[in-house]
Structure formats: structure tokens, C-alpha cells
Amino acid sequence: MILGKKERMVAGLDIGAGCIKLVKLEEKGGTYILKGMGIREISPDVIVDEEIKDRDALIYNIQTLIDQCDPHIKEIALAVAGHGVLSDKLVMDKKSGAEAEQAILFEAEQRSPFDVDDVSLDYHVIRTDEETGKMDVLLVAARKDFLKSYLDLTFDAGLKPVLIDTETLALLNAYEINYEINSEKVTALVNIGFDTTNLTFIKDGVYNSSRDVSSGIRVIYEAIMKEFRLNPEFATKTIKGEMDSSIDQDMLKATVVTSSEELISGLEVALSYFKSSAKISNLDWVVISGGGSIIPFLPEFIQSKLNVPVEVMNPLRNIEYDPDVFRHLQPEKIAPLLSIAVGLAARKVK
């Protein structure tokens, strides 16, 4: 760390299996201003089950998105998730400095399913209870080979990754800058991606835990493509709600409902596990984002199955922008897709 060096913001790059999202923010007087954003759809076979299958195509699409959004962007923040990443919350005796770090690393060795030498570790003290002398610590571990694959990718795309976050914490950051967190309510933030769904739980006004569900909207996408005999382009338009006048809506609803069983089952298991570990009977609120949040009929179906109020997240809710500048992107429609990118773009680095 260089003394006196000011914090700065970098662009947030969210590399998903269905599309790549980019957001650039500026902060003035506590207000965030949108300076650039973009989305570029990629073929579903470029990234499959978190594995990059077509590296050259991904690099090309990242470079194209940067050029379309702001060619001057070089420094970026990235997010990772999935099987290569582990996050856990520790409750331990209050410590500080080197003593705290040593104790946290010891706990990490006991809990991590990976060899500690093979992972990169980081931690954050969530809160400290002076009365009990305890502190809640968030521990994050990521496999070095998993990180290296994404770092090398962005370097080869001509970018410099200066910050790496988890998708669940980026999601939480986007929520915190756009919504008031009620400490008396238990909230689940659910980002429904193409292959993976991230859940972040908020309890007592702070981060409680997170989980990844190995299911997303790929099955829905493929079912729609098969049922309506659509090519990938029109299947993508359909799951984005852009084919209302061309697709039988009753049939579409039936297809979405029947093909989302795996996703719903994964959400039910994750919520059940959270309620059991947090010792609560019910959630108060579910806020969804990602590609699944804009699929016709899916948010309503999730609400009916989980029996919890569901809201679609707007990560641009408290962010200022000129509608005329971004009119071609229709921010009000694509906003839920930008949650992780916004959370990354709002981070600061030295």
C-alpha cells in the first residue's frame, strides 16, 4: 500500500456463461454515476459448467465489449464463483493483527476441502461483539488454478485485473448501495445465471452466509429452443421476453414451469439448509437478479413455489445516469442482468 494514494474505482466485468456484462461507475459526493455499460451475448457452448470451452471466442467477445463500451478501460474487477470457490463464516474470539490472521488461517486449514497450499485465501471481519468478545469473520478460499485461468484470460484480452471478488459478495454490494437493509428482516439475494445460481443471505442486517446452486436457466433455454423449434438467437430473445407477439404465451408458460424444476429444487434445498443453520422458520424476502429474473413467468413461479415474496432487483435504482446516453441499451430492461457487474464497479482499490 502506498501512503497517501487515493482510492479509485475500476470497471466491473462479469463473465457469465450466457453473456458478458461491463459496468463503469464514478462516485461524486456519495452518489454513484453510470459512466459506461454494455452487454454482449455469447454462445452457450463457450462456457459450460464453469469451464471455458472456447477461450479465443471468449477473449474476442470481451475485447469487443470493451471497445463498444469504452476502449480506454484497462483496469477491471472480476468475480468468481462455483466449485473453485469456498466461502464460510467463522465465529471466533476477538483478535487483531497478526494474531487474528494466524488464527483465521488455522481455521481455514481445518475447514477447506482444498489443500491450503493450492488456494488463495482472504478474510473480512463482518462484525465484533464487544460484550461477548467474539467476532464474525468471512473466510473466502479460491483454487489457484481456477483463479489463474480467469486472470490469464483477462490479461490476454489486454486488461489488467486489479480486484477479484466472489459473485455472492458483489451481489451483496450492489444490493447495499441500492436498497435499505432492514435488520429485522431475513433476505435472500438470488442471482440466477445460465449454469449457476448464487444465493446470499442477509440476517440481522449483515451478511450471514452464501451458497451456490449448480443449476440455472440453460435447461429452460434448451427446452424453449426444442419446444418452439427456435434457433439460438430467437431462443435468447424468447427468454428475454422479446417474443411476446410471436410465441404462444400459454405454451411458453407451461414450458418455463416444467423446465425449471431442477432450479426450483436447488433453491428449495438451499433455503431449507439456510433456515436450519440460521435457526429461523421463514424468510421475509427474496430478491432475484440475473438472466432468470427476466424470463417471462419465472419470477412469479418462483414466488408461488417458495411461498416467499419475490422482487426483481434493480441495481441501477440509486445510480444516476443519462437515459438518452444509454437509450439503445434500455437500462430499465437489462438492469437485473447487471447486478454483479455493478457490485464490482462500486468497489474501490488503491
Which CATH class, in words, describes the domain spanning 180-313? Answer: alpha beta
Angle between helices 232-239 and 218-227 (to 10 degrees): 120
β-pairing verdict for 310-312 and 319-320: unpaired
β-pairing verdict for 31-41 and 319-320: parallel
What integer pLDDT is reported at residue 122 of this predicted model? 79
Query: Could you state, in order of their start, the residue ranges of all structural domains in the chain?
Result: 1-84+144-178+314-350, 86-138, 180-313
What integer pLDDT is reported at residue 114 of this predicted model? 61
Structural contact between residues 334 and 293, judged by C-beta atoms closer than 8 angstroms: no
Residues in the chain predicted with pLDDT less than 70, given as ranges, are: 1-6, 111-116, 350
Kind and range of the H or E run holding 321:
none
Tally of CB atoms within 10 A around 184: 7
- Cα-trace Rg, the chain: 20
Distance CA 199, CA 213 (A): 8
In CATH, 86-138 is 3.30.1490: yes
Task: Decide if 1-84+144-178+314-350 and 180-313 have a common fold.
Answer: yes
Q: Which fold has domain 1-84+144-178+314-350?
A: Nucleotidyltransferase; domain 5 (3.30.420)
The one-letter amino acid code at 167 reads E
What integer pLDDT is reported at residue 112 of this predicted model? 63
